[in-house]
């Protein structure tokens, strides 16, 4: 499906990620958090994946009959995802949104509605499952939590570091960042060295 664009505010990130995605063949692998969410029982309803890249999770969920909204700053990744969705016959269930998520979430947090490229009704929800992997921004995390339907699930993975660093979290920070009304289903530290990451699966109870 055609996607809206928030390109002007995310141009530098878009170019950087476009270069990376253009230089690597996609695998469209399903993320373990998606497998865990399905095992934990995702309620009926649409799915949102933030910073999706070339998401195999979005494709797998669409193949299960879910309507999936995928959002990323990279039009290259979204185009590759569109091609694979079309090949699998699920393109009509995958809505692509090209957006600078940090700018979008910052505008949401501040209540501003005058920032070009930050209004995306497609991202409003509510969603049965919201997923983001290898990504961290506190405003985006809060916006994601707010878009999960009661009883729905949040799956999040972020690079982990003992020292505060941009786009990294301290292990345990994800669950500590949840607002009231959530129950942790699973929280784990995976990987080693510079590729350690924290994973969280949580259910909204309130």
Between 21 and 103, the more confident residue is 103
Q: Would you say 64 and 91 are in contact if contact means Cβ atoms under 8 Å apart?
A: no
The domain covering 7-204 belongs, at the CATH homologous superfamily level, to Vaccinia Virus protein VP39 (3.40.50.150)
How does the average pLDDT of the chain come out, rounded? 90
- What does the pLDDT read at residue 7? 45
Predicted TM-score (pTM) of the model is 0.90
Instruction: Single out the residue of 124, 76, 121, 75 nearest to residue 98, CA to CA.
Output: 75
Identify the three-state secondary structure at position 50.
strand
Q: pLDDT of 60-105, one tens digit each?
A: 999 999 999 999 999 999 999 999 999 999 999 999 999 999 999 9
Percent of the chain with pLDDT over 90: 72
Q: Would you say 197 and 159 are in contact if contact means Cβ atoms under 8 Å apart?
A: yes
How do beta strands 197-204 and 148-159 pair? antiparallel
* 107 token code pair: 């505008």
Residue spans of beta strands (DSSP E) within the chain: 47-50, 68-72, 94-98, 127-132, 148-159, 182-190, 197-204
Query: The tokens 């699973």 sit on which residue?
Result: 186
Domain boundaries of the chain, sorted by first residue: 7-204
Residue 177 CA to residue 174 CA, distance in Å, equals 5
- What does the pLDDT read at residue 6? 44
* 74 token code pair: 């990279």
* 135 token code pair: 């990504």
- What does the pLDDT read at residue 118? 58
Q: Is the pLDDT of residue 115 over 80?
A: no
């Amino acid at each position: 499906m055609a996607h809206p664009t928030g390109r002007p505010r995310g141009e530098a990130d878009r170019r950087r990620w476009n270069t990376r995605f253009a230089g690597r063949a996609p695998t469209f692998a399903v993320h373990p958090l998606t497998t865990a969410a399905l095992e934990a029982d995702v309620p009926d309803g649409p799915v949102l994946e933030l910073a999706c890249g070339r998401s195999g999770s979005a494709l797998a969920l669409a193949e299960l009959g879910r309507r999936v909204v995928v959002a990323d700053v990279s039009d290259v990744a979204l185009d590759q995802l569109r091609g694979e969705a079309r090949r699998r016959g699920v393109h009509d269930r995958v809505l692509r949104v090209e957006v600078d998520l940090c700018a979008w979430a910052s505008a949401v947090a501040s209540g501003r509605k005058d920032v070009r490229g930050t209004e995306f009704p497609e991202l409003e929800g509510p969603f049965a499952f919201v997923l983001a992997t290898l990504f961290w921004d506190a405003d985006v995390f809060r916006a994601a939590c707010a878009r999960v339907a009661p009883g729905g699930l949040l799956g999040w993975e972020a690079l982990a570091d003992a020292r505060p660093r941009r786009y990294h979290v301290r292990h345990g920070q994800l669950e500590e960042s949840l607002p009231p009304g959530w129950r942790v289903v699973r929280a784990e530290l995976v990987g080693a060295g510079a590729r350690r990451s924290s994973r969280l699966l949580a259910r909204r109870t309130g």
